[in-house]
Each structure stands twice: as C-alpha cells, then as structure tokens.
C-alpha cells in the first residue's frame, strides 16, 4: 500500500512529501512563485494554443488559487 497525496504547488499526485520534483529546486526547496508561474504558463499555453497571453495568465492564476502553496500569494490574491 502506498499513500498518495498531491503536490501542494501544482496538484500532481506524489508518493511522499509536500511538493513534486518539478516544483522544487535541487535542494528540495519549493521554487519561487515566478519560476512556477512561468512553467505553468508555458504548460497551459501548450494545452490551449488559441488562448491569448492574458487568458493564459488568468487561467494559471485561477489554478494556483486552488493550490495550498500559492493561494495566499499576493499575485494570486490580486487576480
Ligand atoms: Zn508540483
């Protein structure tokens, strides 16, 4: 039996810890908001190529608002 939880930064299923490998740096610390935002925006832009840059930004901020790691971040609060 493995206990699965989800990354508190991006929601990806993980086996242990709070964050997945994509959301942490080499030392295992959570990456900065700007780094995660840029990665998620690039990922979202691939999923939804027709969306404008502004739409992508809004979608990513809406998604981050559901993540425990980011929902209190000023950029998310200000969206
Ligand atoms: Zn993650």
Q: For residue 68, report the distance from its CA to the centre of ligand 1, in Å.
A: 11
Residue 77, pLDDT above cutoff 60: yes
The whole-number pLDDT of residue 28 equals 92
pLDDT in tens, 30-65: 999 999 999 999 999 999 999 999 999 999 999 999
pLDDT band at residue 2, thresholds of 50, 70 and 90?
low
To the nearest 10°, report the CA torsion of 55, 60, 62, 66. Answer: 170
Q: For residue 7, report the distance from its CA to the centre of ligand 1, in Å.
A: 5
Q: What is the average pLDDT score of the chain? A: 95
Q: For residue 77, report the distance from its CA to the centre of ligand 1, in Å.
A: 20
Alpha helices in 2-79 (DSSP H): 33-47, 53-64, 74-77
Q: For residue 69, report the distance from its CA to the centre of ligand 1, in Å.
A: 10
The whole-number pLDDT of residue 79 equals 92
């Amino acid at each position: 039996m493995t206990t699965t939880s989800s990354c508190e930064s991006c929601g990806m299923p993980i086996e242990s810890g709070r964050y997945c490998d994509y959301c942490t740096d080499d030392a295992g610390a959570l990456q900065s908001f700007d780094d995660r935002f840029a990665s998620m925006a690039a990922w979202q832009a691939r999923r939804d190529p027709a969306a404008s840059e502004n739409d992508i930004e809004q979608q990513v901020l809406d998604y981050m608002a559901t993540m425990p790691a980011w929902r209190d971040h000023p950029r998310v609060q200000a969206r």
